[in-house]
């Protein structure tokens, strides 16, 4: 994978954020630096970086994929109110799933907690 200026910009955009951006968020940020960068270029490169293990792609059903610079094993918590996605230290290490190994080889375990974050809970009229 040849490293171009656009690829470097895309990778840096994810590496410099801790809010687990979508491709659209990365694209919007980069437009101020390079108004010619396309959303398709951002998507293609984010997915390539994820496939090569440089970043982590977080796939959530019925929501846009998010990207994480932190590739080590950890879980995520998603606020259903504001959409914030935060890192959570893994409570289910891979070795716990060895019972599956006879019938199913576990490559990766991802846990996504859904609920309401502290900031949203502290807002008035919160039902969470």
| β-pair partners for 67 | 57
Listing from the earlier edge strand, what are the strands of the sheet with 112-115? 85-88, 75-79, 112-115
CATH code at 75-121: 3.30.1490.190
The fold adopted by the segment(s) 5-68 is Arc Repressor Mutant, subunit A (1.10.10)
pLDDT at residue 89, as a whole number: 87
pLDDT at position 36 is 95
- Asked whether the beta carbons of 74 and 53 are under 8 A apart, the reply is no
Tens digit of pLDDT per residue, the chain (128 long)? Answer: 677 899 999 999 999 998 999 999 999 999 999 999 999 999 999 999 999 999 999 998 888 999 999 998 889 999 999 999 999 987 666 555 556 666 777 777 788 899 999 999 998 665 55
HSE value, Cβ hemisphere, 13 Å, CA-based, for 99: 3
pLDDT for res 116: 95
pLDDT of residue 94: 56
How do the domains of the chain map onto residue ranges? 5-68, 75-121
């Amino acid at each position: 994978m040849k490293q171009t200026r656009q690829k470097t910009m895309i990778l840096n955009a994810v590496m410099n954020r801790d809010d687990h951006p979508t491709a659209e968020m990365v694209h919007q940020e980069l437009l101020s630096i390079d108004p010619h960068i396309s959303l398709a270029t951002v998507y293609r490169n984010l997915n390539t970086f994820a496939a090569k293990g440089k970043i982590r792609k977080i796939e959530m059903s019925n929501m846009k994929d998010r990207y994480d610079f932190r590739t080590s094993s950890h879980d995520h918590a998603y606020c259903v109110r504001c959409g914030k996605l935060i890192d959570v230290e893994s409570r289910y290490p891979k070795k716990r799933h060895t019972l599956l190994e006879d019938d199913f080889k576990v490559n990766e375990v991802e846990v996504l907690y859904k609920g309401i974050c502290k900031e949203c809970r502290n807002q008035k009229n919160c039902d969470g």
